[in-house]
Structure 1
Amino acid sequence: MSDLEKSLDQSQSGSYSQDKEVGIVDSYHYDNGLIGKLRRWGDKLHVEAKGIERITEEDKTNESVWNAGTMWFAANMVVSTFSLGALGIGIFGMQFWDSTLTIIFFNILGMIPVAFYSTFGPQFGLRQMILSRFWFGFHGVKVFAFLNCIACIGWAAVNTVVAAELLHSVNNGRLPPWGGVIIIAFLTLFVTFFGYKVVHTYEKYSWIPTFIIFLIIIARMSKSHSFTFGTMETGRIEAGNVLSFGTAIYGFSTGWASFASDYVVYQPKSTPKTKLFFVVFVGLGFPLIFCQILGAACMTGTLTNQMYADGYNTNGFGGLIYAVLVEDSLHGFGQFCLVILALSTVANNCPNFYSVSLSIQTVSTYFAMLPRFIWTLLATLVTIGIGIPAYYSFQSFMDNFMNIIGYWLAIYEGITLPEHFIFRGGFSGYVIEDYNTPSKLPVGMSALFAFACGVAGATVGMYQPWWTGPLAALVPGDIGIELSFGFAAIAYIAARPLELKIFGR
């Protein structure tokens, strides 16, 4: 019998007592076997060992509410946010003003749920996926936790590819794309490996050099006289482009919703919910809107400046930024700026690498036995495996992936918001001690039914190269987010009372 099998056997045969109703094996207390050795090794390195266990009030030592703001400020003040803003012009054929208005409006829609879910962390001390048991049930939440694992790794791959493009642009492409993917992935692993406190400390300061370089880009773009406002179009085609670009914007900004509370669980219960909401909202909003508008502005240069167009066509967004900062511009210092921008991706990937381990632990009790940092390591390897081939088809990969993520998160929000406001009547409707007792949590049938309806809404409303829904074809444009949210919310509001009547929970 292997060491891992021995550890699992010990957890079920007396070395660790577990009530049948308890859904989490508290893997923090193992003395023997491979898992115990891994934990002791992690303790020596001062690695955060706790995973999805509830954070008690005694453990809540992060008293600064501003840490929640700087967390998301740094995570979004990155080159991948810049690149997203350029998609409106580069992919959807829009101009500067319509891109800007789309960026502002759809970001606001996406940020509100993230800021709202963040207020649950100090109140209950639960990670987002464990908190979601109150909405989907003990077993139903596993579906969403699995989807969240895919989202975390997918986002990490998207971000890493953008950084690899930049690194490949430096020094005449001497660093191969696969090398850039590996560098970014392992630098992110180094930060997230140690856990919550190290992640917050890194995010608190890492945005500063990136912001300075974005200001330099503004100066160089202004000096080049390549920016153009263009002419804002009207009509059905324009409306379709706005909706499709807005889907990508929404998917990026609301992408943090499925692990929002993970980064505030160590804040005390007394943290004001309204203050926390606005701190998170502003921490998200400024970098998202600033970087995306800057990306759109730089992308207009490809319409007026052949050097910018050639750089973009040759090496994607990395080539565009290279043309702005290096060619006929800042030369060696510009290449240094490119490296810093590439490294900014670490700040964006940290939440993905950290939260994927918590989502994996939610999927299965047995997965929860392994320490969090082991799952972070495995997720890093998977991200590298996805990121390298994705590099060679980045634009379509980025656009398609963000849209799909936006669909499932719209469904998640379409179920959770009605449950919270209608059926639980707000925060007072939770008995938090029940979070780990399956028989006291919702059965989850109404949530899964609503999820299926939400998928149907996305199917008829999506506008993708590989599928155009019948309703989307009428626009023509992507309305999958609106329909998936609406279908899921209506179905849940209709089905939940029946579930409560039959099962009483």
Structure 2
Amino acid sequence: MVRSQLVEDNISIREKNDGNLKDGILIESTDDVFEQGNTWPAKLQRLARKFKIEQRGIERVPENERTDINGVINVGTMWLAANMAVSSFAIGALATPVFFLGFVDSILAILCFNILGILPVAFFSTFGPVFGLRQMVLSRFFFGYYGVKIIAVLNILTCIGWACVNTIVGAQLINAVNTNVPGFAGVLIIAVATFIVSLFGYKVVHAYEFWSWIPSFIIFLIVLGEFAHSGKFSNLPMGVGSSEAGSVLSFAASIFAYGSGWASYSADYTCYQPVTISRTKVFFSTFCGLIFPLLFTQMLGATVMTASINTPEYAESYATSGIGGLLAAVLFPPLGKFGQFCLVILALSTVANNCPNIYSVSLSTQVLAHQTARVPRFVWTLLATCCYIAIAIPGYSHFESVLENFMLIIAYWLAIYEAVSLTEHFVFKKGFGGYTPEIYNQPLRLPPGIAAIGAFCFGVFGAVMGMSQVWFIGPIGKHIGGVYGGDIGFELAFAFAAISYFLFRTLEYKHFKR
């Protein structure tokens, strides 16, 4: 029996758990050593247990601890709450002011590219109950023990970036309710509330998300009703020609990035599900939990934003307070004080949207090195919170440009991640039966990662060829959408990464036999 199997059987190997690489096996912390000794991590873990804070980090969840009693309901409501949020509304609202799209083309892009974006999220969610591993740890089976560290860094940046974007939207809403509350105060309110929920870990995050979508959904229905009653909808015509094609593709990349942005931490929220749960149920629970709020909020955002073209008060409110001002223009005149209350509820929906980011960023940080894995998860949660507060406050007044550029870049690297992971799973692993989860912490038995890193570089090349950013338009992208180009970076990134990975991995496997 190899040493990692002894860990899984909870046999004490504390005297060997010094973090050194021996026989190709790196022993990571396990339940029986969480609180042992007088080191500061051990003391913090004892403090965590006292306050019922989740102590487990990237260690594999044993089968006897995968006892999430609510099953697939917890899975679906997790993503329902995380996306029934004002930041999702803001994504749809970008269609007109940023990408100059009409109404019908905006709606079609939202529908098609959300479906495309969330399919990988739903698929990776099925890995959690089977293996009891977090998404970044699972990624070692695709990128290797050392190669995954690059992916973990990108995921950390993604989590921090999303947290900034989401928090800025919520702060704008608070400012729209009371202009005496400056942007930095709104950022602090939302960040602290998010930290409190994320601090306690998996169970508390799921418990919060289980209910928090309900008031947000009710308020969005009120927004829909009030806007429909106002009669200010403007059916902006669809454009034509290469400029229209470029705008649709660039907006589609933003939609894809938002929906697919959860893929790099999908399994984090199913790893406590029973191993006997149906993978099909997990897949469709995740898919439904994502698709409904994404389509509803983004289509609502695109619809409301159409009024800003022909309604001066909408345009002025949006120019003054961003998305918060736009929603205030819909709710304040007819609803008065109750409209302000509705905006506060929507601002707090950002907490549900941010919790997955701030919970998962700690797990990605632990993957970076043995030293970071020894630091308790909740410490990284605190540090990540401080980090995105420091970024969100100065970024408050530049929301649209930050959001557009950030989301497009996310689409690029996530497309590469999904290309490598899906190719490995279906072509080389040939499904779930090709995994040996016990070797998740054994570098010499995992894929070397050379092929994955090579494919990643080719994927980046594809993204550069097809991107259309303010600061750079790729040679292919510039031929898609006229003067301003059209962004097909994530499509090319996926294609380049998948094809090159298949070729590189074939050679790698023949040489290394793993």
Task: Please report the TM-score for the alignment, with normalisation by the length of structure 2.
Answer: 0.94
Find out whether 1:295 has 2:301 as its counterpart: yes
Partner of 1:108 in structure 2? 115
In the alignment, which of 470, 474, 480 is matched to residue 469 of structure 1? 474
Partner of 2:371 in structure 1? 366
Preserved CA contact (<8 Å) 1:227 1:304 = no
Partner of 1:418 in structure 2? 423
Matches within 5 A, 1:116-127: 116-127=123-134
Find out whether 1:139 has 2:142 as its counterpart: no
Find out whether 1:376 has 2:390 as its counterpart: no
Give, as a single letter, the amino acid of the residue that structure 1 aligns with 2:181. Answer: L
In the alignment, which of 229, 248, 259 is matched to residue 235 of structure 2? 229
Q: What displacement does 1:503 show?
A: 1.2
In the alignment, which of 460, 463, 466 is matched to residue 465 of structure 2? 460
Partner of 1:82 in structure 2? 89
Matches within 5 A, 1:234-383: 234-326=240-332, 328-383=333-388
Tell me, what secondary structure is at the counterpart of 2:330? helix
In the alignment, which of 20, 23, 26 is matched to residue 23 of structure 1? 26
Partner of 2:5 in structure 1? none
Preserved CA contact (<8 Å) 2:17 2:27 = no
Partner of 1:493 in structure 2? 502
Give, as a single letter, the amino acid of the residue that structure 1 aligns with 2:125. Answer: S
Identity %: 53
Q: What displacement does 1:22 show?
A: 3.2
Tell me, what secondary structure is at the counterpart of 2:89? helix
Which structure 1 residue ranges, 4+ long, deviate > 6 Å from structure 2?
Answer: none
* CA distance in 1 between partners of 2:122 and 2:256 (Å): 14
Preserved CA contact (<8 Å) 1:24 1:53 = no
Tell me, what secondary structure is at the counterpart of 2:261? helix
- Give the aligned length: 492
Q: What displacement does 1:90 show?
A: 1.6
Partner of 1:158 in structure 2? 165
Give, as a single letter, the amino acid of the residue that structure 2 aligns with 1:25. Answer: E
In the alignment, which of 405, 408, 413 is matched to residue 408 of structure 1? 413
Q: What displacement does 1:278 show?
A: 0.7
Give, as a single letter, the amino acid of the residue that structure 2 aligns with 1:279. Answer: S
* CA distance in 1 between partners of 2:39 and 2:236 (Å): 65
Find out whether 1:67 has 2:77 as its counterpart: no
Preserved CA contact (<8 Å) 1:81 1:292 = yes
Q: What displacement does 1:48 show?
A: 0.1
* CA distance in 2 between partners of 1:16 and 1:474 (Å): 57
Q: What displacement does 1:233 show?
A: 2.1
Matches within 5 A, 1:25-64: 25-26=28-29, 28-63=34-69, 64=71
Partner of 1:99 in structure 2? 106
Q: Which moved more, 1:348-357 or 1:22-31?
A: 22-31
1:163-212 per-position Cα deviation (integer Å, ceiling 9, x unaligned): 011111112x1111000111101100000000000000000000011101
Preserved CA contact (<8 Å) 1:24 1:368 = no
Give, as a single letter, the amino acid of the residue that structure 1 aligns with 2:221. Answer: L
Preserved CA contact (<8 Å) 1:435 1:441 = yes
* CA distance in 1 between partners of 2:497 and 2:42 (Å): 43
Find out whether 1:449 has 2:454 as its counterpart: yes
Partner of 1:387 in structure 2? 392
Partner of 1:5 in structure 2? none
In the alignment, which of 174, 182, 187 is matched to residue 181 of structure 1? 187
* CA distance in 1 between partners of 2:162 and 2:426 (Å): 30
* CA distance in 2 between partners of 1:115 and 1:23 (Å): 30
* CA distance in 1 between partners of 2:49 and 2:14 (Å): 25
Alpha-carbon spacing, 1:152–1:79, altered in 2? closer, same or farther (3 Å)? same
Partner of 1:7 in structure 2? none
Preserved CA contact (<8 Å) 1:248 1:403 = yes
Preserved CA contact (<8 Å) 1:24 1:365 = no
* CA distance in 2 between partners of 1:398 and 1:175 (Å): 23
Preserved CA contact (<8 Å) 1:68 1:276 = yes
Q: What displacement does 1:298 show?
A: 0.5
Give, as a single letter, the amino acid of the residue that structure 1 aligns with 2:264. Answer: S
Unaligned segments of structure 1, at least 5 residues: 1-11
Q: Which moved more, 1:403-412 or 1:27-36?
A: 27-36
* CA distance in 1 between partners of 2:14 and 2:76 (Å): 45
* CA distance in 2 between partners of 1:75 and 1:311 (Å): 26
Q: Which moved more, 1:180-189 or 1:222-231?
A: 222-231
1:112-145 per-position Cα deviation (integer Å, ceiling 9, x unaligned): 0000000000000000000010001000000001
Give, as a single letter, the amino acid of the residue that structure 1 aligns with 2:392. Answer: G
1:56-106 per-position Cα deviation (integer Å, ceiling 9, x unaligned): 111111041111000000000000000000111121111111100000000
Q: What displacement does 1:23 show?
A: 3.1
